Amino acid sequence: MDLGITGKTALVCAASKGLGKACALSLAREGVAVTIVARTPGPLEAAAEEIRAATGSTVTAVAADITTPDGQQAALDATPEPDILVNNAGGPPPGDFRDWDRDTWIAAVDANMLTPIFLMKAVVDGMIGRGFGRIVNITSSAVKAPIDILGLSNGARSGLTGFIAGVARKTVRHNVTINNLLPGPFDTERFHANVAVAAKNAGRPVEDVLAQRKAGNPAGRIGDPAEFGELCAYLCSAQASFITGQNFLIDGGSYPGTF
Ligand code: NAP
């Protein structure tokens, strides 16, 4: 299927690795010129080069912390009028809420709720004026099924989800859609780091914990980031103009509910 977005521009946040990079790659494959943001220049440049070589699309790399006002400005300076915005940032650390002070909470809310809101605020009116816009927020399956040790993520991302539910109905008549993608377990550095922590805490070999996670998923495996990137690209397609305000779980069927 031709997604009808050749020649469009995209700002993809937190995209030198993992799910963000997969989204950038899938969009670039559709002929979208992508700007990718991450803090660490080495892996960022490597990702930019990999996407260029694989797709032939224009890839601009911005080394910045997207959760800071300066970082957001640097990203917007590189791509002031994106047709597509993919919001993403590192997830907050696990822990017990008794140990989290105000600063810890503000950092989580800044990264996983306010950063996407402020980036949307910066680009949405331009999208409305041009009559095309696609905004995808990478959140987490924890929005639907909270993970006890990820209280910062459960809370901050649910705040974003509530905000999106309202605003996504205000933009769609201008062909600007806003949706959330909720990843379950995906084969990324962050996932493996979390498995390593869980294994250490349980005093078990990492391989055992990983095998158990795979076996416990209805699909019998964890997700490939490429599968995630392809769904993101579809939500950014011309054809997806009647889809807005939705929360898409992509988790191999892990979430057990009927709806
Ligand atoms: P990952 O493999 O660790 O990649 C994270 C990417 O984000 C890297 O490119 C990293 O580069 C960049 N990044 C992190 N913080 C940033 C910041 N402040 N500013 C700019 N770039 C930043 O992580 P992932 O697994 O793809 O996860 C992406 C998001 O999905 C996270 O919020 C995670 O919590 C959520 N999620 C993931 C899973 C999963 O199974 N993978 C499941 C549920 C939710 P630098 O470090 O160089 O900045």
b/e map 97-106, b = 16+ CB within 10 Å = eeebeeeebe
Residue 13's pLDDT is 98
Q: Tell me which DSSP letter residue 17 carries.
A: S
Residue 32's pLDDT is 98
Question: Atom 13 in ligand 1: which residue has the minimum CA distance?
Answer: 14
Contact (CB, 8 A) for 251 and 183: yes
Which residues lie across from 180 on neighbouring strands? 137, 247
CA of residue 135 to ligand 1 center, whole Å: 18
Question: Atom 37 in ligand 1: which residue has the minimum CA distance?
Answer: 183
Q: pLDDT tens for residues 90-120?
A: 999 989 999 999 999 999 999 999 999 999 9
CA of residue 191 to ligand 1 center, whole Å: 9
b/e map 195-204, b = 16+ CB within 10 Å = beebbeeeee
Provide the strand spans (E) within 139-246: 176-183
Choice among 34-38, 73-77, 114-118, 143-147 with the minimum mean pLDDT: 143-147
Which residues lie across from 9 on neighbouring strands? 33
Residue 59's pLDDT is 98
CA of residue 129 to ligand 1 center, whole Å: 31
Angle between helices 206-216 and 189-202 (to 10 degrees): 110
Relative to the CA of 15, which ligand 1 atom is closest?
9
Question: Atom 7 in ligand 1: which residue has the minimum CA distance?
Answer: 14
Report, as an integer, the average pLDDT of 26-45.
Answer: 98
| Token output for 138 | 């990478």
Residue 200's pLDDT is 94
Q: Tell me which DSSP letter residue 94 carries.
A: P
What is the total residue count of the chain? 259
Q: pLDDT tens for residues 50-72?
A: 999 999 999 999 999 999 999 99
Which residues, judged by CB distance below 6 Å to any ligand atom, belong to the binding site of ligand 1? 14-20, 37-40, 43, 65-67, 88-91, 138, 140-141, 183, 185-186, 188-191
Q: pLDDT tens for residues 140-182?
A: 999 999 998 899 999 999 999 999 999 999 999 999 999 999 9
Q: pLDDT tens for residues 204-242?
A: 999 999 999 999 999 999 999 999 999 999 999 999 999
CA of residue 257 to ligand 1 center, whole Å: 27
Contact (CB, 8 A) for 88 and 13: yes
C-alpha 141/C-alpha 223 separation (Å) is 13
pTM greater than 0.95 (yes/no) = yes
Residue 177's pLDDT is 98
